[in-house]
Amino acid sequence: MAFLELAPEVLKRSLEPFPFRVRTLDALHLASFDFLQRRHRDLQLASFDDRMARAESALGFDLFEL
């Protein structure tokens, strides 16, 4: 777990459309993950929320099996 500053680039991405309808905090999490992944960070997302997991998969993010 880590904290990430919400840079203008992350905030901008969170306002753009996602493949599935996502809630505000989910959009911030997905935008943050996208930001880090584009900087070649080796990350996986984990979620018990089906809507969030579908969005993660649709964006091509690696999912951690819970």
| pLDDT digits 0-9 by tens, 1-58 | 667 778 899 999 999 998 888 899 999 989 988 888 888 778 888 888 888 888 888 8
Q: Give domain limits for the chain.
A: 8-58
Q: What is the pTM of this model?
A: 0.77
pLDDT attached to residue 9? 92
Predicted local confidence at residue 1, as pLDDT: 62
Residue 39 is predicted with a pLDDT of 84
pLDDT of residue 18: 86
Question: DSSP of 1-66, one letter per residue?
Answer: -------HHHHHHHHS--SS---HHHHHHHHHHHHHHTTT----B--S-HHHHHHHHHTTPPBPP-
* pLDDT computed for residue 48 by the predictor: 87
